[in-house]
Structure 1
Amino acid sequence: MSYYWKEVADLGNRVEVSSKNLAEYLRINPEPWRVADLERFAALHVELLDAQIAYVSFQHTKLA
């Protein structure tokens, strides 16, 4: 597998894992603003956003 496709797969995997982690947290805490662990929600949300940004940024740099 070429470097490009390996990187796409790794970044896609990172997005998938981050998304599942946040979804699991929201399943357990459907109203995260009401629980004491709002920092955990924020950290999971940032993790997902970072993964998505990394994926999109990589795609755009290779397509340009």
Structure 2
Amino acid sequence: MIERFDIRQDAKGWTVLDAGTSRPITIMDVPQVGLDVRDALDLVDALEWPAIRERRTFQD
């Protein structure tokens, strides 16, 4: 499975990145930087979920 999002530690916490561009993602014009590690991981899981669900549908 190709990951579309990743996290990286920054100066104030963790940044959620677009794996293709290595740039922070933004949600409602807010860059997702300086997050708690659990929040960053939860966000990546939430963002990846539609792709995982779609792959499961095609495999079933």
TM-score, with length taken from structure 1? 0.39
Greater RCO (CA < 8 Å, at least 6 residues apart): 1
Higher strand share: 2
Greater fraction helix: 1
Structure exhibiting the larger radius of gyration computed from Cα positions: 1
